[in-house]
Amino acid sequence: MYYQGLINKYRAFLPVSDKTPVITLNEGNTPLIKAEKLAEKIGADFEIYLKFDGCNPTGSFKDRGMTLAVSKAKESGSGAIICASTGNTSASAAAYGAKAGLKTFVIVPDGLVAPSKLSQALMYGAEIISVQGSFDRAFDFVKQICEKYPITLVNSLNQNRIEGQKTGAFEIIEALDDAPDYHFVPVGNAGNMAAYWKGYKEFFDLNKSKKLPEMIGIQAKGCAPIVEGRIIENPDTLATAIRVGNPASWQSALKAKDESNGAIDCVSDEEIISAYKLIASSEGVFAEPSSASSVAGMIKLKNQIKSGSKVICVLTGNGLKDSDSALKFANSKIKKCPANIDEILKVMDI
Between CA 30 and CA 284 the distance in angstroms is 16
Looking at beta carbons only, is 189 or 325 nearer to ligand F0G? 189
Q: How far is the CB of 108 from ligand F0G (least distance, A)?
A: 8
For strands 182-186 and 310-315, give the pairing: parallel
**The binder of ligand F0G chosen from 60, 104, 134, 167 (CB under 6 A):** 60
Q: Is the dihedral of CA 186, 190, 195, 197 positive or negative?
A: positive
Q: What part of residues 14-53 is at the interface with ligand F0G (CB under 6 A)?
A: none
Of 188, 170, 171, the C-alpha closest to 293 is: 188
Please list, in sequence order, all residues whose beta carbon lies within 8 angstroms of the beta carbon of residue 332, skipping any fewer than 6 positions away.
none
CB closer to ligand F0G out of 22 and 112: 112
- The least CB distance from residue 344 to ligand F0G, in Å, is 38
Tell me the sheet residues that pair with 312.
49, 183
The minimum distance between CB 336 and ligand F0G, in angstroms, equals 33
Distances (CA, A) of 127 to 8, 58, 84, 104, 186: 29, 17, 12, 6, 28
Q: Treating both helix axes as pointing N-terminal to C-terminal, what angle do 115-124 and 88-100 enclose, rounded to 10 degrees?
A: 10
Residue 244 CB, shortest distance to ligand F0G, in Å, is 6
Choice between 8 and 129, CB closer to ligand F0G: 129
Binding to ligand F0G (CB under 6 A) within 80-119 occurs at 85-89
Q: Any contact of residue 158 with ligand F0G (CB under 6 A)?
A: no
Dist. CA 307–CA 67, nearest whole Å: 38
**By rule CB under 6 A, what string of x and - marks binding of each residue 229-268 to ligand F0G?**
------------xx-x------------------------
List residues near ligand F0G by CB under 6 A.
60, 85-89, 156, 186-192, 241-242, 244, 288, 290-291, 316-317
